[in-house]
Amino acid sequence: MRTLGIVVLATCFPFFSFGQVAPKLAPAPDPGKELRTVTASCGQCNFGLPGGDCDLAVRFPQQDGAEKAFYVDGVDISAFGHPHDKDGFCLALRKAEVQGEVVEGRFKASYFKLLPPEKEGKAR
């Protein structure tokens, strides 16, 4: 019976990780603020941002049609699993729903929900 429980847990565990909200941030979006869907990934590995370590970044479309990436404050790159896992931030581009603001060139997150991985979007 114990083995069955372990098998069920191991089988279902990956499904519990989809659509997770970052710890230490608001558990739900603020209805009074814009909720944006952005691309999230490792700033150094996939967005070409400067730095010496892997850090979470988001990429926003700009008014001129270009996209610009910003490091994220308030969410650690490993908050949703190991960054080098198959769908981790260093190996994949992921979609996220976010709220917050850019302050001094960094995105200060107040809400961050990672969406389930898509078939495309592999960075490497």
Domain ranges of the chain: 2-114
Cβ burial of 10 (10 Å; 0-12, 13-18, 19+) is exposed
pLDDT, tens only, 7-48 = 444 444 444 444 666 667 889 999 999 999 999 999 999 999
Residues 24 and 60: their CA atoms lie apart, in Å, by 23
For residues 11 and 95, the model is more confident at: 95
Record the pTM.
0.77
Residue type, 78: S
